[in-house]
Structure 1
């Protein structure tokens, strides 16, 4: 069961560049009877390893904006410790409710973008093929020859704020934060979709791995004998997802994930409400 759940998580991450961990936590809780903090911590490990693999696969195509990813990760790491402390002080059912609400927001946004914008949902193919033209962002410019960001104070501040939000959610809920990073980069900076996805994967790998170590150092109980098969499955899913992504319709795939996420969030809300 552990390796199967990991396979699903890696597949989602490989297909979309985001959202793998948002499925990992509820699946681990339902399938392996983990508490939300245990599921969140194991999710961080699997997503970190899978995202690192995805970053390596994208690096050879020069899609990764590594300086932006590093800044997101550095700021995110600082805010992740705050998220961990908040999570450890909340009642588990309250934490589940917060997670379910975040999942519902992700589901609604995913379904909406799949319906109204083919360009925004081109992430499925762009993560593999590099398709999709650059969009005009609200902050900064890119070098038209290299595709790299031209840095300024406003660009740095924008990326730092994305990192802060990502890090806090990573520590609080055990999510990689790709569902925040990708749309935030696309909305604020003039990056193509494939650059946003690749940059997101590197930032997720750095932030999630460091947050996982922080969780362990703070004394969270981690059943590693079940975590390792989960990580193995996530790696296999990542490779499979990147291989088949170009063959699947982007909007249809996003809508399918959105419906699944919405159903999971509703179930989590009812379950958590009954426990309060």
Structure 2
């Protein structure tokens, strides 16, 4: 019998590529998105689809119950849905911080709690949480987004030990910049902020970095991230964390730099920009 995967955030980018990768590997794929029409073509390709807003507990319960009713199993949960709320810490209103965490952290937590009883009953399962280089290394202008991903990685680390006796593996997939529309929404969220005017040098640095990354420097394709997610679902002993792309690997080392060195580097970049 084919294994079953439930994937969030499949309307584009990493989620869509992940659904296609699991489908090619002959899994039963439940591809979800806030607007089900955004994944209609995935249904045509062979996926089961469903509307799912990860901030809606009732919707999560309904989707998980449907998967279990129709297949009798959830072998893998891929928590991919998310977005980036950029902006300096002072400039981002608290309600936006709440919404960032509601999507990027509380959403995965809700889904984890919903699927774990089913996985535990069967004594097998995989949970794959899609994080980011920002999950271990925060830079000026992305503190709120990084905070949500730091927290997701912390929960993943704790959960990994908690469920290991039940045959359940937990992995984090942490890509660097990916060639998706993620940056477009992040730009919209950033443009919607009221700036205090106190941090324009940081915004200039942030925009310069975006320009470089949009030019393709260090950027990976979503299919490469999807390959890591699939590996986490099928490897007998999957790694706890999958950095994807050259900048992801560099960030893993950069986080060990002393804070004073990091601040000096930021200062140098600000003077250049």
> What TM-score results when the alignment is normalised by the length of structure 2?
0.31
Which has more strand, going by share of residues? 2
Which has more helix, going by share of residues? 1
> What TM-score results when the alignment is normalised by the length of structure 1?
0.31
* Higher relative contact order (Cα pairs below 8 Å, separated by 6+ residues): 1
Bigger-Rg structure (1/2): 2
